[in-house]
A = this chain, B = another copy of it.
Amino acid sequence: MSASIATLTTLCPFFVWNAEFSMLLLWPRFGKDIMRIVKVREIGEFALIQTLKELLCHGNPSSGEMAFPLVIGIGDDAAAWHTTEATELATTDTLVEGVHFRHDFTTWEDLGWKALAVNLSDIAAMGGLPLHALVTLGLQPETDVGDVHALYRGMLSACQEYQCRIVGGDIVRSPVTFITIALMGIATGHALTRYGAQSGDVVAVTGPLGCAAGGLQSLLQGTALDGESGRHLHEAHSHPVPRIQAGNTLVQHGVQTAMDISDGLTADLSRLCANSGVGSVIYADRVPVDAFLKDAFPQDFLQLALNGGEDYELLFAGSEEIISEAVTRLGPSAAIIGRIVANHPGEVKVLDERGAAFPLERHGWDHFGDVSQISYNTFRIRPPNSLLGRIANSRLSFGMA
């Protein structure tokens, strides 16, 4: 399952801030009549998924009745179930033209790589190895066959790199191009989850953040980003590297809690914290940022690193001893960036090098909604409203007030 459906487990406390969600809380009493008058854009992605999660909890057959008992269901990067010989994993992610990608920014071959990479990243975030992929393409009839082939070459390139195999799929006519991949894999030990972070734990990431967002921002703004920095940032956006090996390393070192950063550090850490019932503090100056991003965005690099997303580095938490060892093993790009605190579940506070609140200007992505309130030194997932006119055809929304 994707990051988007994976983030709902304990978000209920946030959902009392607008009228639509107040209605949502009354749902069990008034049922379908209220839901019939509420639009998806009015409650946003996260509230929608929360209501679906409740439906699924009640309507799904019991896991105990299944041949292979489910151990991780909705609420993480991938689903996981035990067979007698392995813990198997399955995830799915979709890219839609005009929402997740634009053909003028992304070649078909890069699109193929990226479509598989975002799924591989979900397997990485469980500490797993990928095995088999099903590829569904929604295609416009006017699409060039050569472009479809380039898309597959991109996917096959990722298959070769990470030793997984495309075993089937579906091709359908559609007025908009979309690519949905379902990826199955196995855990290399215990599965990493978004739960279990505890007060006193430290928070770390596997590598530098913000480059993908920097690359996308320069494309959106038409900014000339030539030279090595430009190439590096555009490559980070168009050719993300799933951290399969890093995920395996976390499992080997006994890390239990991890997720991938697809929607931005603050947004994704807020989810991890909400799932674990804890809060967190990030030290902005410890967030790893590479020289290319600083070179291209001398003013904004930290905002991009904190809120950009799509780098697909892993975010993880645990005792200082375990995390320190893992970070050492992961190499110089990995870093401890903050700590878990007991209060304010789901809250992410960002502090600058003097310990003062660091102003957050941007925030993570909601597929249908908006963030109605922005607090300038903390991040929490809020009930969304009406961003749709303002999004810029990407997973990022820039320049929110």
List the interface of chain A (C-beta within 8 A of B): 1-2, 4-6, 32, 34-43, 45, 48-49, 51-52, 55-56, 59-61, 63, 65-68, 70, 73-74, 78-79, 81, 83-86, 90-94, 96, 98-100, 129, 131-132, 134, 136, 138-150, 152-153, 156-157, 159-160, 163-176, 178, 180, 182, 184, 186, 367-368, 388
Give the residue of B148, B153, B165, B176 whose beta carbon is less than 8 angstroms from that of A48. B148
Given A70-B132, A165-B66; A388-B141 close (CB under 8 Å): yes
Residue in A43, A70, A141 with the greatest tally of chain B CB atoms within 10 Å: A141
- Contacting pair A174 B96 (CB below 8 A): yes
| 4 residue pairs, one from A and one from B, having the closest CB atoms | A1-B168, A182-B182, A59-B156, A35-B146
Which among B83, B172, B186 is the interface contact of A4 at CB below 8 angstroms? B172
For the complex, give the distance between the alpha carbons of A91 and B132 in Å. 11
* Chain B: CB-nearest residue to A36: B146
* A171 and B4 contact, CB distance less than 8 A: yes
Judge whether A38 and B180 touch: CB under 8 Å: no
User: Given A40-B142, A40-B145, A92-B169, A174–B32 Cβ distance below 8 Å?
Assistant: no
A81 to B79, CA, bound (A): 19
Are B94 and A172 touching (Cβ within 8 A)? yes
- A63 vs B165: C-alpha distance in the bound complex, in angstroms? 8
State how many angstroms separate the Cβ of A153 from the closest Cβ of chain B: 7
Most interface-central of A37, A67, A150 (chain B CB within 10 A): A67
Apart from A2-B170, A49-B171, 15 more pairs, CB < 8 Å: A1-B134, A2-B169, A35-B144, A36-B144, A45-B171, A51-B145, A56-B156, A61-B163, A65-B163, A74-B168, A90-B168, A93-B170, A98-B175, A176-B176, A184-B184
Sample 8 A-B pairs with CB under 8 A, ordered by A number.
A37-B146, A51-B149, A55-B149, A56-B156, A60-B156, A65-B163, A90-B167, A175-B175
A134/B170 in contact, CB under 8 A: no
Alpha-carbon distance between A55 and B17 when the two chains are bound, in angstroms: 52
Let me know if B83 and A39 touch, CB within 8 A: no
B173 with A99: CB separation less than 8 A:
yes
Contact among B41, B73, B367 with A167 in the assembled complex (CB-CB below 8 Å): B73
Which B residues are in CB contact (< 8 Å) with A175? Answer: 98, 175-176
Q: Nearest residue in B to A52 (C-beta to C-beta)?
A: B152
Which residue on chain B has the smallest CB distance to residue A142? B39
Contact of B5 with A67 in the complex, beta carbons under 8 Å: no
Residue from A5, A43, A134 whose CB has the most chain B CB atoms within 10 Å: A134
Residues of B within 8 A of A40 (CB): 139-145, 148
Instruction: Given A136-B94, A149-B32, A149-B51, decide whether A172 and B99 contact each other with a Cβ distance below 8 A.
Output: yes
Say whether, besides A38-B144, A144-B38, A52 and B149 are in contact (CB < 8 Å). Answer: yes
By a CB distance below 8 angstroms, the chain B residues around A132 are 66, 68, 70, 79, 81, 90
- Check if A5 sits within 8 Å of B86, measured CB to CB: no
- How close is A129's CB to chain B, nearest CB, in angstroms? 7
Q: Inside 8 A of A2's CB, which chain B residues have their CB?
A: 168-170
Chain B residue nearest to A143 (CB atoms) is B40
Contact B91 A153 (CB under 8 A): no
Within 8 Å by CB of A92, from B52, B93, B136, B148, lies B136
Give Cα A79 to B167, complex, Å: 6
CB distance from A211 to the nearest CB of B (A): 24
Return the chain B residue nearest A39 by Cβ: B142
Assembled-state Cα–Cα distance A184/B183 (Å):
11
Q: Which residues of B contact A140 (CB under 8 A)?
A: 40
CB distance from A54 to the nearest CB of B (A): 10
Please state if A35 and B149 are interface contacts (CB–CB under 8 Å).
yes
Q: Cβ of A152 and Cβ of B94 under 8 Å apart?
A: no
Distance between A365 CB and nearest chain B CB, rounded to angstroms: 10
List B contacts of A138 (CB < 8 A).
94, 96, 178
